Amino acid sequence: MREGDTHFAENRVVYNKGILITDLTGDPVKLADGTRYTDAQHHITEYSLGKRWTARHRLVKPNGSAYDSEIAYRVVARERITVPAGSFEAFHVEGVGWSQGDKVGVDVVNQFWISPEVRRYIVHESRTRFASGKRSKQHERYELTGFAQR
């Protein structure tokens, strides 16, 4: 990110002039596609091996469709992970749950590696499968490509 692309506003972190907005722990508030989250709790302030928590939230897509979700998370390991941005000591977190809309439900499996040094994902991977189990809906993986502390 270029200088000035990230700033804090009203307990929010605004990236790239509003394309992404998170709360102070990194939970999504608004995504680039306009999707908005209410009460997301995917991140916690302190990570430790074996720590467990449940994230419940509602997301609303730009077309107005809404989904309620619940994901049970657990810190499964502390690992050294290497990505294009470098190597980091990170907590490996796994989450399993569901998301249900008016017409479709999906099973969700999330995993991420988060470093106390960066306080953001080093890697985030999300897989969703239609609740009927017949086919995958989506698989996304993000890796940190650059990091500088100022």
pLDDT tens, position by position, 18-56: 788 888 888 888 988 899 988 888 888 899 999 999 999
Residue 76 resides in a domain: yes
- What CATH number is given to the structural domain containing 88? 2.40.360.20
Residue 118 resides in a domain: yes
The span from the CA of 96 to the CA of 84, in Å, is 27
Residue 83 resides in a domain: yes
Count up the domains in the chain and report the number. Answer: 1
The span from the CA of 139 to the CA of 117, in Å, is 27
> How sure is the predictor about 4, in pLDDT bands with cuts at 50, 70 and 90?
very low
Q: Which domain holds residue 95?
A: 46-143
What is the enclosing helix (H) or strand (E) of 9?
Answer: strand 6-9
Residue 22 resides in a domain: no
> How far from each other are the two terminal CA atoms of the chain, in whole angstroms?
12
Residue 137 resides in a domain: yes
Residue 35 resides in a domain: no
